[in-house]
A and B are shown apart, each in its own frame.
Chain A
């Protein structure tokens, strides 16, 4: 029993999964699920489909050349069984896995190295260019710092007091947003 690789996305195909397609020239295509199979039937090139391993390797998103890959090689000649060799192999597989994962993480971090700087630059630029959406240029001239202006609401004094007084007497049940509005009004700064 062997674990094969999907021809389209290069993921492992476990027993009981997927479909194998044999072409007239005797080339075998194995697929891990119908998604890959259907993509193949549509004649899509896996090197152009973003989520496949082929694309990722081709465009440098994933590690391509590494010594860990050379340890895993399909051997066509069967070896005579040796218990010690088998034991060592099993232990080695685990260690190799760990190393490979670490290397891939390193590769990823190398890829992402300059990201923060670029992001910060982009943020600064956006701030500079689009500040007019939240603060009028006139206001900016007055106050060059980038703090946001607050909303000013004009409320007449009499109305608030009457409203408070009439609340309980009227007997109308106050909904929660009524109460919230009232409370914010009372905290709002009165202008003019």
Chain B
């Protein structure tokens, strides 16, 4: 069975698009570079290739269009008529004809220009010929632009046509507008047709599928038909007429008894009689809809008479088929709103159609081939003895017992319900445990003891192993004790004085290490006071004396020598008494010697750099001092001002200084590029 699916037709491009596509393809897929210095045959070949390529592409695409659009004479008359109704056969054929002509014209153009190109003598001439050829082809396409647009419209509409198979089991629903055809199809199939109170809601055919006796039936919903002469009908009505005419289907003619569709029964009966010619050889069922609004019995006599006439007509078709007239299969009532009788209608229609089709098949010649393929094999009975199925007695008993048990056994669920329901009762999972002793069922065993997992130790013969272990342990202990006795401690104990000395040694060593560490760290970072300015008095001769005596040596000689050689006593004679030190601090010698302080602070380098011929207080004319005493005073003030700073090793004017150790611009803010993971 051919599936009529018009969705596979390729898109028809508009005129302009068509030209663009082909020309760009020519440009991409043929060589583009050519120089006038090439050989003439090469130039000719180049341009001929372009012309031919363009022509071939046009030919291909136009052929595709012509082939894919269906030919109205070759398809099923239903579709042919449907397409004619929708699109007008003549226009359609004309459009396709134009495309065909265009194709031929383009072919001719290409042939002519290729012939001319063979005799082109320069690059320029060949190029002009190519341009002319392509131009003419494009003009042809431009001229058929409207046809292409028309075909594109048709293609889009065709793709949306419902896929109706004209050869399969079909049920057709027809009648006046607004009688309830779409509601009915919505009920029996999954189709979702629009149902509205105004007439001509359904404007085209709709298909739904339904099942009956394991077979699929197509149900076609048609737009409403009015009672008019054939020539006056519009496109929408023509759709339904076409469907009625060409598809072999069961027809359900819908009747609105209540008249709420806006048309009386008389009008509907008139329509029936006018189209009953289309119902030839089709199972026909009259369906009275909307009986919830108006029951059949409440109709007036005239109406009932009309209805009976229609029924009679319908019955006649049944008789013509050879079946006996059955009231129920010809005339039915239903209400789509209340679902009353809907299924009955569907079943009746499907049944009638099925019977008719089977009849037809039986009458045709093909059925004999089918029948030959069926064969039901029945074994021939040997004798007339009855042989019922044999079930052993035990199985029967077991079955009976199982049934009884199932009723008697108390389920966990019952127990739960008795004891307060789901939230209250929690089942005791332990009661089904299988243990050696049933008293142990409620035992709780610890899982953890003293930082060990108890399950790791569990062993049926753990006691035995423990005993072995303890035996081992005792053995080890005895061994250990025995060893200890033989183990002698080396008797090289230290005397208390030695211990004291050792402690002193270690203390001194640790002090040395500490000092070294401090010195190591401060050497680079902190400035160190020079020895002559030591305010902690670490480098005094007294201290030296103390330390020497602590080591056990006699310090007198050393201290004397130290005092002799000290800077303050440079130049002094050795006869001076050594005991004079420290107590009388103001013992300053007045006989011509310089004070010790002065000697200490005076820089030695300065004395070398300046010539000795000028004493320090002498004022040279350009300096700005009045007299030497003023100069001396000035020098004294200057020295005094830096004295404390020097002594305490503070930062001076000449030392480098960083005024701001944490400038704000480096330690805050976002960077324009880069990361700030470190500052």
Q: Which residues of A contact B (CB under 8 A)?
A: 1-3, 12, 67-68, 71-75, 78-83, 85-86, 88-90, 92-97, 99, 102-103, 106, 113, 116-117, 120-121, 123-124, 126-127, 130-131, 133-136, 138-140, 142-143, 145-154
| A149 in contact with B549 (CB, 8 Å) | yes
A-B interface, 10 closest residue pairs, ranked by CB to CB distance from nearest: A139-B552, A149-B552, A136-B551, A152-B549, A134-B504, A117-B490, A136-B553, A133-B508, A92-B466, A83-B440
| B494 in contact with A120 (CB, 8 Å) | yes
Q: Does B457 contact A (CB under 8 A)?
A: yes
- CB B179 to nearest CB in A, in angstroms, measures 70
Q: Does B90 contact A (CB under 8 A)?
A: no
- CB A110 to nearest CB in B, in angstroms, measures 9
Q: How long is the Cα–Cα vector from A90 to B545 in the complex, in angstroms? A: 74
A72 and B450 contact, Cβ closer than 8 Å, known pairs A103-B473, A134-B504: no
Choice from B451, B469, B492, B505 contacting A131 with Cβ under 8 Å: B505
| A146 in contact with B550 (CB, 8 Å) | no
- CB A189 to nearest CB in B, in angstroms, measures 11
Q: How long is the Cα–Cα vector from A73 to B459 in the complex, in angstroms? A: 10
Q: How long is the Cα–Cα vector from A3 to B449 in the complex, in angstroms? A: 10
A71 and B469 contact, Cβ closer than 8 Å, known pairs A116-B490, A148-B504: yes
Q: How long is the Cα–Cα vector from A95 to B552 in the complex, in angstroms? A: 62
**25 A-B residue pairings within 8 Å (CB atoms):** A2-B453, A71-B469, A75-B458, A81-B443, A82-B436, A89-B454, A89-B458, A89-B462, A90-B454, A92-B462, A93-B449, A93-B457, A95-B466, A97-B452, A117-B492, A120-B494, A124-B492, A124-B494, A136-B552, A139-B551, A146-B497, A146-B501, A147-B497, A149-B549, A152-B549
Which residues of the other chain, B, contact A120 by a CB distance below 8 angstroms? 490, 492-494
| B509 in contact with A79 (CB, 8 Å) | no
Choice from B433, B463, B476, B549 contacting A92 with Cβ under 8 Å: B463
| B501 in contact with A147 (CB, 8 Å) | yes
- CB A141 to nearest CB in B, in angstroms, measures 10
| B501 in contact with A81 (CB, 8 Å) | no
- CB A190 to nearest CB in B, in angstroms, measures 14
| B494 in contact with A123 (CB, 8 Å) | yes
| A3 in contact with B452 (CB, 8 Å) | yes
Kindly report which residue of chain A lies nearest to residue B479, judged by CB atoms. Answer: A106
| B466 in contact with A97 (CB, 8 Å) | no
Q: Does B524 contact A (CB under 8 A)?
A: no
| A3 in contact with B451 (CB, 8 Å) | yes
Q: How long is the Cα–Cα vector from A26 to B641 in the complex, in angstroms? A: 79
A106 and B466 contact, Cβ closer than 8 Å, known pairs A81-B445, A148-B500: no
- CB A128 to nearest CB in B, in angstroms, measures 10
Q: How long is the Cα–Cα vector from A89 to B463 in the complex, in angstroms? A: 8
Kindly report which residue of chain B lies nearest to residue A78, judged by CB atoms. Answer: B455
| B509 in contact with A133 (CB, 8 Å) | yes
- CB B265 to nearest CB in A, in angstroms, measures 80
Q: How long is the Cα–Cα vector from A114 to B122 in the complex, in angstroms? A: 113
Q: How long is the Cα–Cα vector from A82 to B493 in the complex, in angstroms? A: 60
Known: A71-B469, A79-B460, A151-B546. 11 other contacts (CB 8 A): A73-B456, A75-B455, A78-B455, A89-B459, A95-B466, A102-B473, A106-B480, A121-B492, A124-B494, A148-B497, A149-B551
Q: Mark B462-505, 1 if CB is under 8 A from A, else 0.
A: 11011001101100100010000001011011100110111011
Q: Does B447 contact A (CB under 8 A)?
A: yes
- CB A18 to nearest CB in B, in angstroms, measures 15
| A127 in contact with B505 (CB, 8 Å) | yes
Which residues of the other chain, A, contact B492 by a CB distance below 8 angstroms? 117, 120-121, 124
- CB A166 to nearest CB in B, in angstroms, measures 15
A131 and B501 contact, Cβ closer than 8 Å, known pairs A83-B440, A103-B473: yes
| B437 in contact with A83 (CB, 8 Å) | yes
- CB B484 to nearest CB in A, in angstroms, measures 9
Choice from A1, A80, A106, A143 contacting B448 with Cβ under 8 Å: A1
Q: How long is the Cα–Cα vector from A73 to B454 in the complex, in angstroms? A: 10
Q: How long is the Cα–Cα vector from A72 to B453 in the complex, in angstroms? A: 9
A151 and B549 contact, Cβ closer than 8 Å, known pairs A83-B437, A99-B470, A120-B493: yes
A96 and B480 contact, Cβ closer than 8 Å, known pairs A72-B457, A80-B435: no
A127 and B498 contact, Cβ closer than 8 Å, known pairs A81-B435, A99-B470, A133-B508: yes
Choice from B443, B449, B546 contacting A153 with Cβ under 8 Å: B546
- CB A109 to nearest CB in B, in angstroms, measures 8
A90 and B448 contact, Cβ closer than 8 Å, known pairs A123-B502, A133-B509: no
Q: How long is the Cα–Cα vector from A99 to B489 in the complex, in angstroms? A: 28
Kindly report which residue of chain A lies nearest to residue B583, judged by CB atoms. Answer: A159
